[in-house]
Amino acid sequence: MSLNEGEKPANLNEAAIAFLASLSVAKRETVTPAVMNFVRWYGGNQTLDRLSPPKLAEYAEGQSPGEEGATKLKAVRELLAYATKKEWTGNNLGVHLKAKKSPIRARAAIERPAAIERLVLTMDKQAEMQAEVISLKDRRFHLIEDIKRAAADKDLKENAPYHAAREEKAKIDGKIKELETLLRHAVISEQEHCPAGTAAELGRKITIRDLKTGVATVYTLVTPREVNPRSGRISPVSPIGKAILGRSAGEIVEVIAPACINRYTIECIE
């Protein structure tokens, strides 16, 4: 069936046939099963002005998660986009056809931690950041004086010292704001008050011994901002950090390396 130019299809079935006729042979063969399955589900005699967003969402919900369901929905979206282009519908109803996540992907989305750094600081790091804020504010005070002196030259357009001082002040203002925000919302881990022998957590020193070589190593779990591998300060998201986090003295943990699996025993937690 073919429609004359400007002619509106009487129902969903006619619209689907016209859409499929507009495609190349290869494309038509690919999408026809999905399009006609949708037409049968919705009702081929349904007029286009009666297409309902809630019912379209219901159709999408009934599709299997994963690639197969997503492919079917894509074909129907193309049909609805074509109907909008031909002005058979007032707006593109395809936006209501949202693919359902597979159980694995949905669970991963729930379990995936937020990509926001935890504002947990050791007392040493807190003191270090506070000292940095004081130093930056002192530097900012001197820059303001530099800006005032440079501004006295009046010719600000070609005044390199004036612009350099303003640029540096802007950077310092941003750094001060960042540090003060971190300090204001941070939770301080009082490392020296942590009782020994409990679970490995942020701020604790953990001694582990390689079961193969017998070599003992001491690590301290710290926030990403405090990581320093040379001094044994590691993040809980590092391979070893992940393995020991939440574990207790006496437990054996495994760390997966590219070529092997290393096994350690947790000897001490301070």
Question: CATH 1.10.150.130 spans which residues of the chain?
Answer: 12-111
Is the separation of the CB atoms in 264 and 255 below 8 Å? yes
Higher pLDDT, 79 or 178: 79
Question: CATH 1.10.287.180 spans which residues of the chain?
Answer: 120-189
Higher pLDDT, 187 or 70: 70
Higher pLDDT, 214 or 141: 141
Tell me which residue of 91, 92, 34 sits closest to 60, measured CA to CA. Answer: 34
Note the pLDDT of residue 137.
92
Burial 92-103 (b: 16+ CB within 10 A, else e): ebbebbebbeee
Tell me which residue of 8, 201, 3, 180 sits closest to 90, measured CA to CA. Answer: 8
Question: CATH 3.10.50.30 spans which residues of the chain?
Answer: 192-269
β-pairing verdict for 187-189 and 120-122: parallel
Handedness of CA 26, 31, 37, 38 (dihedral sign): negative
If one looks up domain 120-189 in CATH, what number appears? 1.10.287.180
If one looks up domain 12-111 in CATH, what number appears? 1.10.150.130
> What is the CATH T-level fold of the domain 192-269, as seen in this structure?
Chitinase A; domain 3 (3.10.50)
Q: Model's pTM, two decimal places?
A: 0.39
